[in-house]
Amino acid sequence: MDLSVLDRLKWLQQQQMVSPEFLQILGSDGREELKRVESYLGNNNDELQSFRHFPEFGPDYDTTDGCISRTSSFQMEPVKNSGHNRAISLQNKRKPEGKTEKREKKKIKAEDETESSMKGKTNMSNTETSSEIQKPDYIHVRARRGEATDRHSLAERARREKISKKMKCLQDIVPGCNKVTGKAGMLDEIINYVQSLQQQVEFLSMKLSVINPELECHIDDLSAKQFQAYFTGLPEADSKQSIMADFRSFPLHQQGSIDYSVLNGTVTISLCSKDQTSSSWETHSQCLYNNSRTDSVSNFFSLK
């Protein structure tokens, strides 16, 4: 697993303290090159600062093909032309001989005015790498051998990968998606699940309106009680079947492995031994308070 973005930023900041010996290597030409690069990126001086210091780690930071890989942060791939690495990397020359993978980085910028100027410049790999760290809206796609490398197919591929990543996240959240393959089937499952959830909410709110008059006496203890009642009420899962009666016909996925580290042992056992469709709904809801699913869920909640 490569470094997180934060770690990389810190690393970059550290490097900005180092003097730009790199420029000496390039000589005066390098400065012009840098200026040209700068003009392409607009006045994004921060990026270029980091870019300048990026290849400081030349001895340990070999790059292939003039590109700094995004996926391997400090792991270096052997370089065929290590001698002129740093100079070459800036001049955007690529050495594809004997390589099994071509790397191509592509920028997708939100601003329109830079779009046209960047169209021919997909070789600006180094700048893209450094700017990638600070501007996360660049999309980097690795083109495999034999695949089309023009902008459109790269964009398509990037989009498809994003979508499949999101589908995988949804697979964790929606029960029963593991057995279905393919987008259409999974979307089906998701739709069914959302519909059933909404129906349940409606049903519950109707029930709430029925019993509402007696609500007042119990409300104040609610927040403390609701957790307790839920955890201690597990052996009474049978009583909840009446609520779930409407939804028993819904095809449910049996929760095989549920992380019950929070609950006590006896309750866990009683749950696992039950093999009824209604209880699997219960157990699934139980999961929500466990940490086993925080990975996928935290993705959504970390939007802020």
Partner 1 sequence: MERQIINKRKRVFSLQPNKNPKALFARRYVSHLVPALKKINMKKSSSKTNHPSFEKTVKHEVDMAFALSAQEFAWSRFLLQKLLSSVHDDPVRTSSSPSEILERSSKKQGGGKHQDRDEEEGGEIKKRLKELQKLLPGGEEMNMEEILSEIGSYIVCLELQMIVLKSIVQDNIS
Binding site for partner 1 (CB under 8 A): 159, 162-163, 166-167, 169-170, 173-174, 182-184, 187-188, 190-195, 197-202, 204-209, 211-216, 218-219, 222-223, 225-231, 233, 240, 243, 262-265, 285, 288-289, 296-301, 303-304
Please tell me the distance from the alpha carbon of residue 183 to that of residue 97, in angstroms, as a whole number.
38
**Residue 294 beta carbon to partner 1: minimum distance, rounded to whole angstroms:** 8
Residue 256 Cβ vs partner 1, minimum distance, rounded to whole Å = 19
Structural contact between residues 258 and 290, judged by C-beta atoms closer than 8 angstroms: yes
Q: How far is the CB of 44 from partner 1 (least distance, A)?
A: 26
Nearest to partner 1 of 39, 198 (CB atom): 198
Backbone angles phi, psi at 265, to 5 degrees: -65, -45
Least Å distance, CB 117 to partner 1, is: 27
* Sign of the CA dihedral running 42, 44, 45, 51: negative
Closest alpha carbon to 118 in 102, 135, 101? 135
Burial 64-90 (b: 16+ CB within 10 A, else e): bbbbbbbeeeeeeeebeeeeebbbbbb
Which residue, 169 or 272, has its beta carbon nearer to partner 1? 169
Local structure of residue 130 (DSSP, 8 states)? H
Which residue, 116 or 249, is less far from partner 1 as judged by CB? Answer: 249
Give least dist CB 46 to partner 1, A.
Answer: 28
Q: How far is the CB of 187 from partner 1 (least distance, A)?
A: 4
- CA nearest to 177, candidates 162, 192, 165, 195: 192
Q: Where are the alpha helices (DSSP H) in the chain?
A: 5-15, 21-40, 45-53, 85-91, 113-118, 125-134, 151-173, 183-211, 216-219, 222-232, 241-244, 265-273, 277-287, 294-301
The Cα 288–Cα 197 span in angstroms is 14
Q: For the CB of residue 94, give the shortest distance to partner 1 in the complex, in Å.
A: 31
